[in-house]
Chain A
């Protein structure tokens, strides 16, 4: 009976996500195709970066989304710790690897941009260092989840890490304002409006939306898998 109660919500969630996912995948694929063509072909080169500016269309959205993804992870952690929400733990397991991948893409593209523009792949300034920490927090979350024989203990340990690590997100965001950094300050959310020309800003917003859809789709499909996996584990233990 306890197992049934546990699955009540996840089962409803699973039905919901199975209904939404096919449409979500097609919209995501279309949005990504349009966004990549817009950013890589139609959008103009930058006046001093030339075509290297196109790296921004992957770098900036993956940066924002991996930070937003970590806030989601922290919210899921809080709802597991406080309300013991059964779905939260499974969704957190589904979210962390997606967020880690986005963070990795952001670090790699940033480094490829830094070499020609700054003259270096990497520096230890406040922005780059705090973002690297975000990547490690994701990896720590994944590792902690799997560190216990009892998956629920792993869920709880990882949830604490997620909530505590959320403090790093505003530090990443404001690092370029609080300290001197090599990384440039924010171009979009700044006083006086965005400092990116509309011809580059719109494809950037579009890619932000397309990659957000991809993030959601990946989290949903992975949550389904986690629900199935937990069901099997429970069935195994009872059988």
Chain B
């Protein structure tokens, strides 16, 4: 075996080992890398009250109630939903049917008290006329990609 060959195999070999190591580490940590839980995942997890985490999903249609600075709404993944209370400024994209991520904790009644609400943008980009045409033709599906 020439030195070049040996170095090539050494490189390929160490890359394979490294790749395997990275895969194992990432799959072991996958629960920590997840940025937010969906309401369904939350239902399976039984997170204790007062532990801080993030919840993500769509703002349920017809669920938004505003009392002064306090906003109540439900976050849904179309299977489960969670009630959220938030006091503060909402991002511009916040509205019913929009994907949002809220950070906070559950209280003892299972209501999520949010300290921060972020809007999740989907991967669709189009001019207003196209969005209008899609809505009129009934081919508009709000937030279908946000919920997996």
Q: Which residues of A contact B (CB under 8 A)?
A: 44-49, 53, 56, 78, 81-83, 116-120, 123, 125-126, 163-164, 167, 171, 178-182, 184-187, 190, 195-197, 199-200
Contacts and interface: CB of A to CB of B under 8 A. Distances in A.
A167 B37 CA distance: 27
Interface string B86-117: 00001111000000010000000000000011
Contacts, number: 112
B126 A120 contact: no
Contact of A163 (B11, B22, B119, B126): B11
A182 B11 contact: no
B91 A45 contact: no
Interface in B1-48: 4, 7-8, 11, 15, 18-19, 22, 26, 30, 33-38
B119 to A, nearest CB: 6
Contact of A45 (B4, B26, B120, B128): B128
Contact of A81 (B11, B90, B93): B11
A184 B123 contact: yes
A190 B118 CA distance: 25
B131 interface: yes
Interface residues of B, number: 40
B101 A44 contact: no
Given A82-B8, A163-B11, A47 B128 contact: yes
Given A82-B4, A83-B4, A117-B121, A182 B35 contact: yes
Given A118-B93, A118-B118, A199-B130, 5 more contacts: A81-B11, A82-B8, A116-B91, A117-B121, A118-B119
Contact of B130 (A47, A81, A119, A182): A47
Given A78-B11, A182-B120, A117 B91 contact: yes
Nearest 10 CB-CB pairs, A to B? A119-B91, A44-B127, A47-B131, A197-B126, A125-B35, A187-B123, A47-B128, A196-B125, A184-B123, A82-B7
Nearest to A120: B118
Contacts of B19: 167
A179 B126 contact: no
Contacts of B11: 78, 81-82, 163
A16 B142 CA distance: 53
B55 to A, nearest CB: 10
Contacts of B116: 119-120
20 contacts: A44-B128, A46-B125, A47-B127, A49-B125, A81-B7, A82-B7, A82-B8, A83-B4, A119-B90, A119-B116, A179-B33, A179-B34, A180-B36, A180-B37, A184-B120, A187-B125, A195-B125, A195-B145, A196-B126, A199-B127
Contacts of A180: 34-38, 56
B79 interface: no
A179 B127 CA distance: 29
B124 A195 contact: yes
A182 B125 contact: no
B122 interface: yes
Contacts of A182: 35-36, 101, 118, 120
Contact of A119 (B33, B37, B118, B126): B118
A200 B35 CA distance: 29
